[in-house]
Amino acid sequence: MLPAHGPAWLRMNANSTIADGSGSDVTPESLTELARIGFSSLDPAEIIATMSEGVGALTPCRVEATYCGAGDDMTLCPPTQRNDPELAEVLERLGWQGSIVPARGGWGRAFRLSHQDIVHGCLVVSAADEPTADHLSMLDLLTRQAGAALACAQLHQRDIRRARQLEATNQDLTDTVQRLEARSRVHEFLESALASGAGEEGILEALHGLTGRAVCLEDRFGNILAWAGPGRPLRHVKVKQSQRDRFLHLLSTQGGPVRSGSRVSVLIQPHTEILGVLALIDADAEIDDDELFALKCGTSVLGLELTHRRTLAEVQLNLRRELFDDLLAGTDAAGAYARAEALGHDLRRPHYVLAIHTARGASTSDIAAVSRAAGHMHLSHLMGQQGRLVVLVVGGRPSLDALHQEISRQLGDVSCAIGMGPRCDVPTDIPQSFVRARRAVHIRLNSAQPEGVADYDELGFYHLVDAAHTVGIAEEYVRRWLGALIDYDAAKSSDLVHTLSYYLECGGNYDESATALHVHRSTLRYRLGRIADLTGFDLRDVDTRFNLHAATRAWRFLTPEP
């Protein structure tokens, strides 16, 4: 109960009880009036308004307040009523039912608007005198009907909310299905491009078709591998490698698309190795989720393509190296033909073996330069390395001078010499041709002009040396004429045989010989005097000079090759 000093009209009447109609008969006329009151609306406000009109029509009571809600969560309905927090507090204490004393005096009571023991609202009425039992019965019946109507309205509202939720859920499902179908089409489109064999260009064209944006594929160094769509730069400017490395690190740590200027880039890294960077060129426009999804799918497909291409290249390279090594070592023709055909190389045509010596001794950059030169000249070839020599097995007779010029261009300031062996009609000819190509380049390197080309078939005199070498006669000849100088050079670590060879190659010209040997004229004169003393030969004698010249050439031919 409220304290006695509270507002008078809110003081509860402890002696009052809720009339249940016992002992009083409800008149047929009042029941007829009650039956006319219809709660057909499903709007709580209209139900409350209908009930309020019924109170005035059936009883002498005045409506003080009406509430609508569930449990203790009651609010004024309609909300335009005067809000009285103290009244709401008293009603909540009463459980939204019981007698109250209005502020103006007289009689007052709160009726629950309930259905199946669930309170859906509250009606507060007042009167100058306590209503009769018939009127209280009518109020009780009226509020019960209003409670049932509010329960129905709340069920209807709940159904509406559930229907809306279901509709929203269905729409979400529809959107999800459509998104999944769209993304499935993206997968199918890109996988079709991958399966078509069109390579990176075909995949990028598919991405361009899906997004409507230009697409760029770069390797890890920033070189453009492929481009689809408009705007490809006529001249691509690469950033510094340190800056590129920082960008790759950012892409790797980000784990997703990264915007950089007008590009949105994704790293292509199917495993641990970076294969490239894929970018959408968006000209600062926003890229939506579908386009980002297509970009990520493109990254996956390109990862497969680049990995496959690299694996295939490595396999082909290994197969080419194995075939190359076997051809130089000697292998059966049938097996060589089959393996070469599998690699797309026609081994049945005549071939030539080229031994290429560079000043750097067949470094990685030298091998790459020779490969570029052979590609530039469209030579069908197999390539490998033997010691300090780069070796080409070329289909068809190449132009040695043109090849030397192109290799020199590719090498830059590095000098080179080329030796070519005899023609090979069958694979079993290749090992011997390689031996002779190696001899040819060796002879060229030990000539007065080391840089250039040497065709074994055009060496002339050296063919005699080669034939004599096979039976041991060439060594005896060299020993007969140069033995004293060879022993002296070995004992004193000098170079008299080399000096004599250059002097004779230059036709006995002091100035040319000194220039070729990079020594002073007086030094050359001293060495020649020493040679004459050791051998006892007169270098002015024509026959002696001829035999010494032949011996030095044979010595060059027989000296171990580089």
User: How much is the pLDDT for 172?
Assistant: 87
CA distance 457 to 69: 112
Whether residue 87 is predicted with pLDDT greater than 80 in this model: the reply is yes
Give the model's pLDDT for residue 465.
Answer: 63
293-318 average pLDDT score: 82
Residues 98-151 pLDDT 10s:
998 887 788 999 999 998 888 999 999 999 999 998 899 999 999 999 999 999
Give the pLDDT mean for 357-368.
86
220 and 306 Cβ atoms separated by less than 8 Å: no
What is the structure's pLDDT at 24? 45
| pLDDT value for 108 | 93
pLDDT higher than 50, residue 16: no
pLDDT of residue 149: 92
Strand ranges (E), 192-269: 214-218, 224-228, 258-260, 263-268
Give domain 460-562's CATH architecture.
Orthogonal Bundle (1.10)
pLDDT category at 19 given cuts 50, 70, 90 is very low
Which strand ranges, in their side-by-side order, compose the sheet holding 452-455? 381-386, 389-395, 351-358, 416-420, 452-455
What is the homologous superfamily of the domain 8-159 according to CATH?
GAF domain (3.30.450.40)
Say if CB 391 and CB 354 are below 8 A apart.
Answer: yes
> What pLDDT, on the 0 to 100 scale, is given for residue 297?
86
430-445 and 289-329 helices, crossing angle to 10°: 90
- Matching fold, domains 8-159 and 199-232+242-311: yes
Q: Tell me which residue of 4, 6, 5, 1 sits closest to 85, measured CA to CA.
A: 6
Does residue 18 register a pLDDT over 80?
no
User: What pLDDT is stored for residue 470 in this prediction?
Assistant: 56
Residue burial 33-48, b: 16+ Cβ < 10 Å; e: rest: ebeebebeebebeebb
d(CA 302, CA 381): 30
Predicted pLDDT at 421: 92
Q: What is the pLDDT of residues 26-55, one digit of tens each?
A: 566 667 777 767 788 888 999 999 999 999
Q: Mean pLDDT score of the chain, rounded to an integer?
A: 83
> Domains of the chain: which residue ranges?
8-159, 199-232+242-311, 330-459, 460-562
Task: Give the predicted TM-score (pTM) of the model.
Answer: 0.48
Phi, psi values for residue 417, rounded to 5°: -135, 145
Q: What is each CA distance from 22 to 26, 115, 133, 137, 399, in whole angstroms?
A: 10, 21, 8, 9, 129
370-390 per-position pLDDT tens digit: 999 999 999 999 999 888 899
Residues 336-351 have pLDDT tens digits of: 888 888 888 899 999 9
Which CATH homologous superfamily contains domain 199-232+242-311?
Answer: GAF domain (3.30.450.40)
Task: Please report, rounded to a whole number, the percentage of residues in the chain having pLDDT higher than 70.
Answer: 90
Residue 283: per-residue pLDDT: 58
- Percentage of the chain lying above the pLDDT 90 cut: 22
Quote the pLDDT of residue 110: 94
Classify domain 330-459 at the CATH superfamily level: Reverse transcriptase/Diguanylate cyclase domain (3.30.70.270)
Rounded Cα–Cα distance for residues 177 and 179 (Å)? 5
Mean pLDDT of 10-34: 50
